[in-house]
């Protein structure tokens, strides 16, 4: 923020715009969620934090920070949702679903971690 301020950027305005945009999108999401179910439950998505992090990891976001893409994260979320729907179609038990989803996430994180360390090792 300090470098941006010294460059002449109004940091407070951009922070406020980010908060307003985020709140507006959350409000639209809440309205869509409520209209889909016909009721609103404030704890409906509780416990889904791991799925959100997994979507980002599957989308290629670095576990060490500094890189990521919204489009790739959406692709990761789409992959997780498709995987869960496939498990439901196959009538797979919830325990097996969790184990398989966890394995996919760990493998993806390992691939990105090993791939990232190899790229960093070749650069030096």
Higher pLDDT, 124 or 74: 74
How much is the average pLDDT of 59-87?
83
| Of the candidates 119, 118, 85, the residue with the CA atom closest to the CA atom of residue 101 | 85
Give the pLDDT confidence score for residue 119 in this predicted structure. 59
How much is the average pLDDT of 78-106?
85
- Among 15-19, 23-27, 111-115, the range scoring the smallest mean pLDDT is 111-115
pLDDT band at 120 (very low <50, low <70, confident <90, very high): low
Residue 3: C-alpha distances to residues 6, 9, 11, 12 (Å): 5, 9, 10, 13
Give the pLDDT confidence score for residue 16 in this predicted structure. 95
Answering whether pTM is above 0.85, one says no
pLDDT digits (tens, 9 = 90+) for 26-66: 999 889 888 887 888 878 778 777 788 888 888 878 777 76
The secondary structure of residue 7, as a DSSP letter, is T
Q: Is the pLDDT of residue 17 over 80?
A: yes
* Residue ranges of domains in the chain: 1-44, 47-124
Give the pLDDT confidence score for residue 14 in this predicted structure. 92
- DSSP-assigned letters across all residues of 22-60: HHHHHHHHHHHHHHHHSS--TTTTTT-HHHHHHHHHHTT
Q: Is the pLDDT of residue 104 over 60?
A: yes
Give the pLDDT confidence score for residue 121 in this predicted structure. 58
């Amino acid at each position: 923020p300090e470098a941006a301020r010294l460059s002449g950027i109004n940091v407070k305005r951009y922070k406020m715009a980010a908060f307003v945009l985020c709140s507006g999108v959350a409000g639209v999401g809440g309205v869509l969620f409520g209209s889909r179910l016909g009721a609103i439950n404030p704890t409906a998505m509780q416990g889904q934090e791991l799925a959100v992090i997994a979507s980002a990891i599957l989308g290629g976001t670095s576990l060490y920070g500094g890189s990521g893409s919204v489009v790739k994260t959406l692709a990761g979320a789409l992959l997780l949702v498709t995987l869960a729907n496939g498990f439901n179609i196959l009538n797979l038990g919830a325990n097996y679903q969790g184990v398989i989803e966890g394995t996919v996430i760990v493998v993806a994180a390992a691939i990105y971690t090993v791939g990232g360390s190899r790229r960093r090792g070749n650069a030096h």
